[in-house]
């Protein structure tokens, strides 16, 4: 069997551990040199394939690839370019196949969320239609934790850990001074449609009365009056109120509390600024002194406090992707399967891509308390193991040492340029 090369691309918002998956893919492929050729990475994700801008990862040292395990963000670049349907833009799919053919690529590893699962499936389908032998495998990644069929998504555990720790720390700050100063603190976190990240902040609380006192989920319609009553109650009972608000918090009619009016390439509204809006609302209605923080990219890039469990799983999924490919799998996604015992265990499973693409997994209603402002024991049991372990990076002069790859370009073979 002639050895085929592999193409690997990172898609969508990057995470603290997506490079750990890249590390798993590349290290495992290197161990299987007799079966698989080189791993080419897309520069800036899938558009790297469309533009024939491929990175030859074989030019990177063993140490550099190993260091991907502890480096956040996307080492090869990522993008949010969504391939349209086959009918709407067959040319893009055909271009992908042409580039793959030119570089003898027989494996397509796409590392992303729901949108890229969909793209990956379409590429698998078209390669069959065109009679080009290609195995397309989607590797899950999203801090949003909203992919179906996997117990959790790499990237989420580390954000969850960061958010829970930050909530605990900031709440201690507020508690120290609430007698004469700030009474209300709001931390805005990511999560457009699903409240997984905001929910994980609930882990910060260990005893009755601990922060966060209120969590705002996108899944629960925001009711101003009810919310204000709860803020006031927390301040009266505990002296202060800590609120963790999902950026996707919305009114009953689906309007986000914090629409900025901008949309990204996928047509999603760009959110942000919910925290200052809530703070203003509380100030006007209750008169409390407030502070607010918006973690934004800090939360998903915080490799300095990544979850060891998350790093391990991210790596294992990259490794499994190569192994499944070499076993002949196509149009699948390796996934995390949670063991049934009381003690947390996990293993790698396999999900068919057509069951993954374009389906969002919301927080189950029984993970949210009846009043809509907190998490239940079921949610705690789900979240808790995902943040276990501190995967500290190496430091030099007080700063984490993150690797920068050489990212050497593979010479182009196609004459045609492709207009995106």
If binding is defined by CB under 8 A, does position 174 make contact with a copy of itself?
Answer: yes
Instruction: Return the C-alpha torsion angle 297, 113, 106, 327, nearest 10.
Output: 120
> Per CB under 8 A, does 381 bind a copy of itself?
no
Alpha carbons 320 and 342: distance in angstroms, whole number: 25
- Does 166 bind a copy of itself (CB under 8 A)? Our answer is yes
> Does an H or E element contain 185, and which?
strand 184-189
Name the minimum Å distance from CB 347 to a copy of itself.
Answer: 20
Closest separation in Å from C-beta 409 to a copy of itself: 14
354 vs 241: CA distance, rounded Å: 44
Count of residues interacting with a copy of itself (CB under 8 A): 73
Residue of 64, 55, 4, 1 whose CA lies nearest to 29: 4
Q: Give SS3 for 56.
A: strand
Binding status of residue 173 toward a copy of itself by CB under 8 A: yes
Instruction: Out of 370, 397, 415, 416, name the contact with a copy of itself by CB under 8 A.
Output: 397
Bridge partner list, 360: none
Query: 59-98 mask for a copy of itself (x: CB under 8 A)?
Result: ------------xxxxx-xxxxx-----------------
List 151, 400, 409, 418, residue binding a copy of itself (CB under 8 A):
400
Binding a copy of itself (rule: CB under 8 A), the pick from 66, 148, 259, 273 is 273
- Contact between 30 and a copy of itself by CB under 8 A: the answer reads no
Among 117, 199, 115, residue whose Cα is nearest residue 159: 199
- Spatial neighbors of 291 by CB under 8 A, at least 6 apart, are 174, 182, 184, 185, 186, 279
The reply on whether position 164 binds a copy of itself by CB under 8 A is yes
Q: Judged by CB, which is closer to a copy of itself: 384, or 409? A: 384
Contacts with a copy of itself in 276-305 (CB under 8 A)?
A: 276, 289, 291-298, 300-305
The answer to whether 374 and 215 have CB atoms below 8 angstroms apart is yes
**Using CB under 8 A, which residues numbered 99 to 128 contact a copy of itself?**
none
Binding to a copy of itself, residues 203-222 (CB under 8 A): 203-204
**Residue 256 sits in the site that holds a copy of itself (CB under 8 A):** no
- The residue range among 126-134, 214-222, 249-257, 266-274 that interacts with a copy of itself, by the rule CB under 8 A, is 266-274
> How far apart are CB 50 and a copy of itself at their closest, in Å?
12
Alpha-carbon dihedral angle through residues 296, 300, 306, 312, given to the nearest 10 degrees: 160
Does 223 participate in binding a copy of itself (rule CB under 8 A)?
A: no
- Cβ atoms of 404 and 77 within 8 Å: the answer is no
253 catalytic, yes or no? no
Position 266 contacts a copy of itself (CB under 8 A)? no
HSE-up of residue 176 (Cα within 13 Å, Cβ side): 6
Of 56, 115, 118, 144, the catalytic one is 144
DSSP state of 393: P
Give residue for tokens 């800090």.
Answer: 298
Task: Tell me which stretch binds a copy of itself (CB under 8 A): 173-181, 220-228, 244-252, 331-339.
Answer: 173-181
Q: Please answer whether residues 282 and 290 qualify as being in contact, where contact means their C-beta atoms are separated by less than 8 angstroms.
A: yes
Q: Which residues are catalytic?
A: 144
């Amino acid at each position: 069997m002639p050895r085929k090369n592999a193409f690997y691309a990172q898609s969508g918002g990057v995470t603290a551990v997506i490079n750990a998956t890249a590390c798993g893919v590349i290290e495992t492929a290197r161990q299987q040199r007799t079966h698989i050729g080189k791993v080419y990475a897309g520069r800036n994700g899938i558009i790297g394939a469309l533009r024939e801008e491929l990175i030859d990862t074989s030019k990177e040292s063993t140490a550099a690839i190993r260091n991907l395990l502890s480096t956040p963000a996307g080492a090869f670049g990522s993008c949010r370019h969504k391939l349209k349907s086959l009918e709407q833009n067959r040319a893009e799919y055909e271009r992908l196949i042409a580039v793959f053919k030119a570089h003898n690529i027989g494996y397509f590893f796409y590392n992303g969320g729901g949108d890229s699962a969909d793209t990956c499936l379409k590429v698998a389908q078209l390669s069959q239609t065109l009679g080009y032998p290609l195995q397309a495998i989607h590797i899950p990644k999203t801090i949003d934790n909203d992919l179906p069929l996997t117990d959790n998504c790499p990237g989420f555990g580390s954000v969850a850990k960061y958010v829970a720790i930050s909530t605990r720390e900031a709440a201690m700050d507020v508690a120290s001074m609430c007698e004469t100063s700030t009474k209300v603190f709001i931390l805005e976190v990511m999560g457009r449609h699903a409240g997984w990240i905001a929910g994980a902040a609930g882990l910060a609380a260990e005893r009755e009365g601990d922060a966060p006192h209120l969590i705002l989920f996108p899944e629960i319609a925001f009711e101003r009056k009810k919310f204000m009553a709860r803020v006031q109650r927390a301040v009266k009972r505990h002296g202060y109120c800590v609120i963790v608000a999902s950026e996707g918090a919305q009114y009953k009619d689906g309007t986000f509390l914090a629409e900025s009016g901008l949309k990204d390439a996928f047509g999603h509204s760009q959110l942000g600024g919910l925290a200052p809006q809530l703070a203003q609302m509380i100030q006007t209605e209750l008169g409390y002194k407030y502070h607010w923080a918006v973690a934004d990219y800090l939360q998903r890039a915080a490799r300095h406090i990544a979850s060891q469990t998350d790093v391990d799983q991210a790596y294992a999924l990259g490794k499994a992707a190569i192994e499944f490919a070499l076993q002949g799998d196509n149009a699948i996604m390796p996934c995390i399967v949670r063991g049934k015992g009381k003690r947390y265990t996990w293993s790698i499973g396999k999900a068919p891509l057509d069951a993954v693409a374009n389906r969002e997994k919301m927080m189950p209603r029984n993970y949210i308390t009846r009043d809509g402002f907190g998490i239940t024991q079921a949610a705690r049991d789900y979240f808790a193991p995902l943040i276990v372990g501190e995967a500290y990076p190496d430091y030099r002069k007080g700063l984490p040492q993150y690797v920068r790859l050489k990212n050497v370009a593979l010479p182009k073979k196609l004459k045609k340029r492709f207009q995106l």
